[in-house]
Chains A and B, each alone.
Chain A
Amino acid sequence: MLARLGLEPGDEEFYADQLSGILGHIDRLQQLDTEDIPPTAQVVAVASRLRDDEPRPCLSQEEALANAPAPVNGFFRVPAIQEET
């Protein structure tokens, strides 16, 4: 993605400096000993939030398809998908 950024002539040095700084910072993070630290999947302190199994009203078909460019007979329409070879 970065390779796709268009740079004005003369800006190269400015961005090269910045990029080196970022890479240097990542190098510093790599020095940390994370051997005994479990991977963090979540930074929020809440856990085990479950919902009671109670049905609630759904959207109407009309509302559900409101953002779809060209629905047909209540279906979303997409370019053909060929399953079989």
Chain B
Amino acid sequence: MASSEAVPTWEQVASDYGRTIYNFAYRLTGNRDDASDLAQEVLLRVRRGLAGYRPGSFEGWLWRITRNAFLDDVRKKQRRPTAELPDEDRSTIATAPAPEEVLAETRLSAEVQAALLSLPIEFREAVVMCDVVGLSYQEIAEAVEVPVGTVRSRIHRGRLLLRDALEGRV
């Protein structure tokens, strides 16, 4: 969806971005139920916000809504903490007797997910927006409302932190 296009409908946003928003939420929370709730909340906010949206940087607008919903969720959870473990690919393991290679890959994904969850939020969201969602530095800057230089430094430090976190695991 190019920024110059007309304002999209809510249905278009859900069908074009629902899966990506869910994956963003899943990688940030490490938990399918939380990801589901969060993605639903984002789509509600998008539906409410579209009326006031004027064509501009749609990516920046959408991902700002998404990460703000995530931060609100984190704040809410800090008030009533729960200990939840990442549930990487439980459904895959349960439904498919996977070949050895797939199991190895699943274990690796779980390690990467656990390492990701150990990162402070500002680094976690930066690397997820960059490497999982595929946003440009400019789009991330608009979403997070920080200068591009800050985005660049968070992505770089986030990747180094991830490497350090994985060193003891993989």
Partners in one complex: no
